[in-house]
């Protein structure tokens, strides 16, 4: 195939990737953006096969390629169709891991196949192996902690953890240097991948489930960086461009997530939430005899008199799969001429945009989803703020107690609403492990129940009025 046509096809694929990302920035164009990005990937794959003269490799070569495509397409289609929207964080974690694993294998195969690898190729392969190994096994651990199959969702620590991580990093750099100095020692590549894989496990287990939005964003950037490094190994420009786009966007998203939690990246990666401070009060001191609980009928009367309601979804909404019931509640309230908005905290849930994805899946009008800085000034004019399974992201201690583990973290200021209704199963703390004075505020009522059941009970009570 003509080299000019190859380069032009790669350029078109790169433009499609950029347009795809642009489309993903708006819910109305997200589906189209996804299709544009997928089209760019299809063009890039076909162009690469033509560039590498795979189409002329004979029946055996084409059969291998076709089998690989069918297996990948089959698995991808099955996962996309079967996965529940509430399990989307696990899906994203796996996809990040697959990207890192693929980069590691491709870079290793290219290094083994090269008769005289250049210094650039060797360095790029080493970087791809290191980042890819960390990404693959780190993503598997993230998936497991989210699913809680083997490991618990809470942070896992053991003595000497940071020292071991440092030693593994030094060992990885040392082995990588040995490969660069002697490219014929290709067996060391798999030693490097093994070290990186162990590092991926140890770097991810200290991260708690509530910090997974940051971890997933970071692993996403790692998968992009691994792909970009593999692009240098293969001297494939479109892979370099694509990997760089993913890596840069992932790092930017990681920074946004950390800022939204008022946490440093190092603090998140070590699973520490300001470990040297403990806050002023214990749960017994905060809650003892002061919690006001209510039933669905009492809350329904509040909604009947309300002219403006703000719904605050949290991880509890995802766990109870209450997004469709919440949409029905919002529709019912709007039919009674009540203004309804949704307040979205950047790190609510277990992945970036988790609440947005769930509510979009339930066909909630995206114009109703308001970001934190936009919605906070409106809470004083809100008759009822309905908090569903959220905790730390609405904890006023972040603004009032400088000794709190979440001091300085931006929150949704629901405490300024005229009435706050909190739906939770219990008074158990959030990821920070501290009590929430909002639950005993004078303007707060607690509705203790599963999120979905509580919303369905509210709908029934409102209809009966």
For residues 398-424, give the mean pLDDT: 89
237 pLDDT exceeds 80? Answer: yes
Residues 75-98: tens digit of each pLDDT: 888 988 888 777 788 888 999 999
pLDDT at position 284: 66
For residues 179-205, give the mean pLDDT: 93
**Residue boundaries of the structural domains of the chain:** 3-265, 283-464
Q: What is the mean pLDDT of the chain?
A: 88
Supply the residues annotated as catalytic. Answer: 392
pLDDT at position 281: 55
Under the banding of pLDDT at 50, 70 and 90, the label for residue 68 is confident
pTM: 0.80
For residues 297-320, give the mean pLDDT: 93
Under the banding of pLDDT at 50, 70 and 90, the label for residue 198 is very high
Residue 53: count of CB within 10 angstroms of its CB: 10
For residues 284-290, give the mean pLDDT: 75
327 pLDDT exceeds 70? Answer: yes
Residue percentage of the chain with pLDDT more than 70: 95
How far is Cα 112 from Cα 433, in angstroms, rounded to an integer? Answer: 49
Residue 80: count of CB within 10 angstroms of its CB: 9
For residues 218-230, give the mean pLDDT: 95
* Residues 421 and 358: beta-carbon distance below 8 Å: no
pLDDT at position 275: 44
pLDDT at position 274: 47
Residue 288 is classified by DSSP as T
Residues 351-408: tens digit of each pLDDT: 778 898 889 889 898 889 999 999 999 999 999 999 999 998 999 988 888 887 788 8
Distances (CA, A) of 3 to 9, 231, 292: 10, 17, 73
What class, spelled out in words, does domain 283-464 have in CATH?
alpha beta
pLDDT at position 372: 92
């Amino acid at each position: 195939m003509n080299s000019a046509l190859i380069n032009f096809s790669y350029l078109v694929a790169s433009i499609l990737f950029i347009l795809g990302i642009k489309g993903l920035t708006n819910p109305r164009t997200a589906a189209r953006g996804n299709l544009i990005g997928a089209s760019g990937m299809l063009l890039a794959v076909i162009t690469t096969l033509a560039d590498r003269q795979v189409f002329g490799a004979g029946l055996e070569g084409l059969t291998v390629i076709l089998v690989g495509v069918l297996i990948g397409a089959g698995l991808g289609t099955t996962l996309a169709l079967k996965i529940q929207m509430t399990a989307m964080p696990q899906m994203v974690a796996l996809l990040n891991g697959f990207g890192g694993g693929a980069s590691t294998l491709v870079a290793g195969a290219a290094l083994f196949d090269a008769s005289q690898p250049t210094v650039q190729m060797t360095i790029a392969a080493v970087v791809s192996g290191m980042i890819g190994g960390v990404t693959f096994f780190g993503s598997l651990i993230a998936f497991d902690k989210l699913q809680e199959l083997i490991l618990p969702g809470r942070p896992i620590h053991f003595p000497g953890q940071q020292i071991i991580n440092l030693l593994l990093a030094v060992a990885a750099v040392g082995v990588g240097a040995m490969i660069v100095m002697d490219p014929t020692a290709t067996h060391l590549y798999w030693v490097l991948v093994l070290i990186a894989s162990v590092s991926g496990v140890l770097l991810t287990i200290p991260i708690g489930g509530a910090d997974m939005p940051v971890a997933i964003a970071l692993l996403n950037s790692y998968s992009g960086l691994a792909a970009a490094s593999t692009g240098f190994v293969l001297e494939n420009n479109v892979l370099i461009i694509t990997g760089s786009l993913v890596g840069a966007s992932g790092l930017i998203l990681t920074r946004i997530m950390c800022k939204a939690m008022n946490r440093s990246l190092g603090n998140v990666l070590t699973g520490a939430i300001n470990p040297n401070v403990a806050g002023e009060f214990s749960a017994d001191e905060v809650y003892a005899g002061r919690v006001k609980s209510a039933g669905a009928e009492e809350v329904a009367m509040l909604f009947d008199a309300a002219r403006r309601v703000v719904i605050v979804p949290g991880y509890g909404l995802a766990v109870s799969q209450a997004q469709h019931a919440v949409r029905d509640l919002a529709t019912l309230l709007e039919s009674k001429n009540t203004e309804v908005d949704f307040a979205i905290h950047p790190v609510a849930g277990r992945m970036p945009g988790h609440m947005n994805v769930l509510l979009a899946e339930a066909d909630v009008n995206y114009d109703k989803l308001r970001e934190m800085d936009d919605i906070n000034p409106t809470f004083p004019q809100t008759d009822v703020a309905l908090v569903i399974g959220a905790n730390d992201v609405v904890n006023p201690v972040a603004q009032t107690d400088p000794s709190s583990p979440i001091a300085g973290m931006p929150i949704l200021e629901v405490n300024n609403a005229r009435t706050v209704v909190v739906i939770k199963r219990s008074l158990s703390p959030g990821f920070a492990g501290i009590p929430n004075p909002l639950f005993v505020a004078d303007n707060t009522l607690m509705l203790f129940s599963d999120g979905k059941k509580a919303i369905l009970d509210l709908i029934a009570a409102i209809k009966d009025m």
